[in-house]
Amino acid sequence: MPATASYGSISGNSAGDFCCIAQRFDDSDGDFDPDCGESWVYHFGDDDDGGCFFGGQGWLTGVWYSPGRAAYVVDADGEAMVFRDPVILYPGQKAAKGQITKVELDASLFGVWGLDDRFVLAWGDHGDGGRIWRWDGKVWAELPKPPGTIMDVQGLAPDLVIAVGYHGMIAHWNGRKWTQLASPTRAGLNAVTVVSPDEMYACSSSGVLLEGSVHGWAEALDEGIPLFGVAKFKDNLYVGAGDKGLFLRKGQKLVPFKPTVKATTMEARKDLLVVADKLICTSTDGQRFDTTDEEFVLETLINEPECWK
């Protein structure tokens, strides 16, 4: 069958050291179907040519790659996985003992994010509302239930974490409990970025961009186009609008920046990492982007189809 690939969650320390979820599926289907498609975790690094270190049939929903070079991966069936210093494994090879930790959590998991290898959060839904767990370096332990179903999480410290989600939910974790913050929208919020205690942003597929702080939130603008990702990098606020492209915020407007970059998810640490459907885009200065298309990953997946699960 003709195969194609698209990219999902992305996370990394730099443009030369990051991980991304790659989804392979029948090109004639149009979109990824977890019942018959495959999900893989792909590592891109300056010290190798890149490659998959985990995957197969199913739906991997998120990856977070730590500064300590551990990859945290979650799937829709509730499995949370920790790969310590992931290495590319080829058919017939096995991971070293202790390299991989897998745990079943009692929820369909939507995402994962962390500060370091002793503070990683994985979240999802069990049908009775949002649930969230913390990895402390040894085990996953469930935290108190958030005030809604979470779609994205980011923060600056174990006592300064912001979660956003369904029905405009915004909540602050102070290290002991969740506090729900007043939200200016009922639209579902799918992405958040935390720059400082006094500078935060969130966006919605309904087209709303919010700005706020630990003290309160307000609507910054409503462009009327779906928004999927937001990141602050090199003093610019980048907003991903899918098929509409990558935008920059200028005052009270979103200005087209890279119309051909169909940006959805993004992360900014040392460099800016952007997923744009069938492209991975990386930038060290926020202006010029290097791209990797689906053919690069497809070549690996087709040549090494029996990998590693």
DSSP of 128-140, one letter per residue?
Answer: SSEEEEEE-SS-E
Indicate the DSSP class of residue 271. Answer: S
Q: What is the pLDDT of residues 207-238, one digit of tens each?
A: 999 999 999 999 999 989 999 999 999 999 99
pLDDT band of residue 55 (cuts 50, 70, 90) is confident
Is residue 148 domain-shared with residue 132, that is, in the same domain? no
pLDDT at 169 over 70: yes
Is residue 90 domain-shared with residue 172, that is, in the same domain? no
Task: Please give the share of the chain, as a percent, with pLDDT higher than 90.
Answer: 72
Is residue 161 domain-shared with residue 181, that is, in the same domain? yes
Is residue 168 domain-shared with residue 251, that is, in the same domain? yes
- Domain span at residue 65 reads 1-140+278-309
Bigger pLDDT: 40 or 155? 155
d(CA 272, CA 307): 29
Q: What is the pLDDT of residues 249-272, one digit of tens each?
A: 999 999 999 999 999 999 999 999
Based on the number of CB atoms within 10 Å of its own CB, is 120 exposed (0-12), middle (13-18) or buried (19 or more)?
buried
pTM above 0.75, yes or no: yes
Q: Is residue 269 part of a domain?
A: no
3-state secondary structure of 285: coil
